[in-house]
Amino acid sequence: MSIKWVFLMRIAIVGVGSIGGILLGSLADSEADLIAVARGNNAEVLSKMGLVLHTPEGSIEVVPPERYITVDSAAQISEQIRGTCDVAIVCGKTVDTPLLAQISKEILAIDGVALTIQNGLGNAEALAHQIGRERVLVGSITHGAMRRSEGEIEWVGRGSIIFGGMGEVIPNQVESLVDYLNEVNLNATWVEDYQRIIWRKLLLNVAINPICAIAGVKNGALLEINSLWLQSVQAMREAAIVARAAGIDLGDINLEDYLQKVVIATAENRCSMLQDVMAGRPTEIDSLCGAVVLNGEAQGVPTPFNAMLHGLVQGIEKSPEFG
């Protein structure tokens, strides 16, 4: 019997926030050699104390810092890491994509691939600019998570990961990567149409993130408060019209059913945009509702609802300046 190449894989989690913490904590139970790319205090805690992961089932898992190599995103990449990774899974914020793409380029082996599971539009293209389209994978993740503190993640709901490639040829690493992710019950699937992945994820993001961030509620409140649900559906429908006008095949999908399924699965989650607002950090609204507006303008499709949400969240971001 031949030895599977999968056992030799080195995987980097580029941006260990809430979602990155789920991946790091889960993959720690696999045979993968792991690299954790974080910044500032979070990188320091991960390197000295390890990662604490609260699972949806209520257990608490502690991953010791010896299980992975921590890289501070602000530091120079060491020769120990440079050019050694088979896969870089990019999880950081869209505003950090230029830095994360550069780091991915530096740490990946010459034939290594990058998988972006970030929110919004433009991330895959930024990675492709650095390493080439044929080495970029594009994914969507519906596992829900919140960061309790530096190095401590609450996994609030299990979901799935779907991803596809920008290039015409499926990279050699894909089969092994799917095996790794499924070995630790992350429910990963390879699909052919990466544009559908990006836009379906965008539809969820514009329906959930800005509404929850403005209202200050967890995802589940969208189903409990009818007025919020109506706003979410409206934002989603508007974005879907833009996608179809741009020639994106969204597939056979009932938008409300799709949204409801994800909201139920992540009911206890504070979405990333709400977490950013609560922490006073910049949000990803420009790459979500802002991207819908820009694409709508390009296609001649009015997007008043997404424009309003875009403006409201921008106002919240800037509100401390006028307090």
> HSE-up of 20 (CA within 13 Å, CB side)?
30
Residues 195-227 have pLDDT tens digits of: 999 999 999 999 999 999 999 999 999 999 999
| Residue 98: pLDDT over 90 | yes
pLDDT for 124: 94
Task: For the chain, give the percent of residues with pLDDT over 70.
Answer: 98
311 burial class (0-12, 13-18, 19+ CB within 10 angstroms)? Answer: middle
Helix boundaries (H) for 12-51: 18-27, 40-48
Confidence of residue 8 (pLDDT cuts 50, 70, 90): confident
With 0-12 / 13-18 / 19 or more C-beta atoms within 10 angstroms meaning exposed / middle / buried, residue 22 is buried
Q: With both helix axes pointing from N to C terminus, report the angle between 226-245 and 194-215 in degrees, rounded to the nearest 10.
A: 150
Dump pLDDT digits (tens) for 290-305. 999 999 999 999 999 9
CB contact set of 41 (below 8 Å; sequence gap of 6+): 150
Task: State the Cα–Cα distance between residues 230 and 270, nearest whole angstrom.
Answer: 19
| Cα 135 to Cα 114: distance, rounded to the nearest angstrom | 6
- The DSSP bridge partners found for residue 165 are 137
Q: For residue 177, list its beta bridge partners.
A: none
pLDDT band at 48, cuts 50/70/90? very high
Q: Which of 283, 264, 160, 276 is nearest to 222 (CA)?
A: 264
DSSP per residue, 156-222: EE---EEEEESSSS--THHHHHHHHHHHTT--EEE-S-HHHHHHHHHHHHHHHHHHHHHHT--TTHH
pTM more than 0.85? yes
Hey, what domains does the chain have and what are their CATH numbers?
5-192 (3.40.50.720), 196-315 (1.10.1040.10)
Please write the tens of the pLDDT for every residue from 264-278: 988 998 999 999 999
Six-digit token string for 120: 């919004």
Cα separation, 292 vs 297, whole angstroms: 9
* Cβ-based neighbour number of residue 149 at 10 Å: 10
Show the tokens assigned to 169.
């040829």
Tens digits of per-residue pLDDT, 222-244? 999 999 999 999 999 999 999 99
The phi, psi pair for 52, rounded to 5°, reads: -110, 125
Q: Edge-to-edge strands of the sheet including 161-165?
A: 68-72, 33-38, 10-14, 85-90, 108-116, 136-141, 161-165, 188-190
